Chains A and B, each alone.
Chain A
Amino acid sequence: GAVVSQHPSWVICKSGTSVKIECRSLDFQATTMFWYRQFPKQSLMLMATSNEGSKATYEQGVEKDKFLINHASLTLSTLTVTSAHPEDSSFYICSAPLALSSYEQYFGPGTRLTVT
């Protein structure tokens, strides 16, 4: 099946610093990728839709200046958490459909961010 990778798998950073998370589609091209966040014992919450070559679309309540998304190529989307705070500590997961018309989405393994 389709493979989506994320890097790093976990990261610990100090409050006020920025962290970049990469999401790659390894064996297919993804014009669209999705970024989710999951707090402990809660479901996945969509943060934003990443579109190759254009601006990301953010969900209501997600600060676009804090969560910077760049989809510079058909296989790579990045999420940068700027000026991280402890409340940003969460499990960040990206997903991608095989094609824009595909209904099935495949998830990366996730990145666990801890802000101290």
Chain B
Amino acid sequence: QKEVEQNSGPLSVPEGAIASLNCTYSDRVSQSFFWYRQYSGKSPELIMSIYSNGDKEDGRFTAQLNKASQYVSLLIRDSQPSDSATYLCAVKLSQAGTALIFGKGTTLSVSS
């Protein structure tokens, strides 16, 4: 069974700090990795996608992928209270048309 593991948290960081969110996955053939943000009572919102080993930066967000270790992470720099949400790691298998497999999410709390 394909699995995506995340620490449920909560992860608490002060405003302005770097938040580090981690995710591991079990299926070696996975090719595409995503981070979604979900506010309470809302649906997930795509914030980052990464397909190749290394880092990908977008504003305050940096996704890091290490396929050999089957590990993907999300760094949020200069964390803001508005970043407080649940962050879902999602993995897509290599087959076209397949759905995403989600981790249980990490709850981030940024205190002002």
A residues neighboring B (CB under 8 Å): 32, 34, 42-44, 46, 49, 93, 95, 97, 100-101, 103-110, 112
A18 → B minimal CB distance (Å): 23
B residues neighboring A (CB under 8 Å): 31-32, 34, 36, 41-46, 49, 51, 88, 92, 96-105
New A-B pairs, 6, CB < 8 Å, besides A44-B88, A46-B100: A34-B99, A43-B104, A93-B43, A105-B46, A105-B100, A107-B45
| Complex-state Cα separation, A31 to B98, whole angstroms | 12
A16 → B minimal CB distance (Å): 27
B92 neighbours in A (Cβ, 8 Å): 103
Chain A residue at minimum C-beta to C-beta distance from B8: A41
A101 neighbours in B (Cβ, 8 Å): 96
| Complex-state Cα separation, A105 to B98, whole angstroms | 10
- Provide the main secondary structure of the chain B interface: loop
| Complex-state Cα separation, A32 to B104, whole angstroms | 24
Contact B43 A104 (CB under 8 A): no
| Complex-state Cα separation, A42 to B102, whole angstroms | 11
Contact A100 B96 (CB under 8 A): yes
Contact B97 A43 (CB under 8 A): no
Contact A103 B43 (CB under 8 A): no
| Complex-state Cα separation, A107 to B45, whole angstroms | 7
A3 → B minimal CB distance (Å): 12
Contact B99 A104 (CB under 8 A): no
Chain B residue at minimum C-beta to C-beta distance from A44: B102
* A44-B88, A49-B99, A110-B42 given; A103·B104 CB < 8 A: no
| Complex-state Cα separation, A35 to B45, whole angstroms | 16
| Complex-state Cα separation, A93 to B101, whole angstroms | 14
| Complex-state Cα separation, A101 to B105, whole angstroms | 26
| Complex-state Cα separation, A44 to B91, whole angstroms | 13
B27 → A minimal CB distance (Å): 15
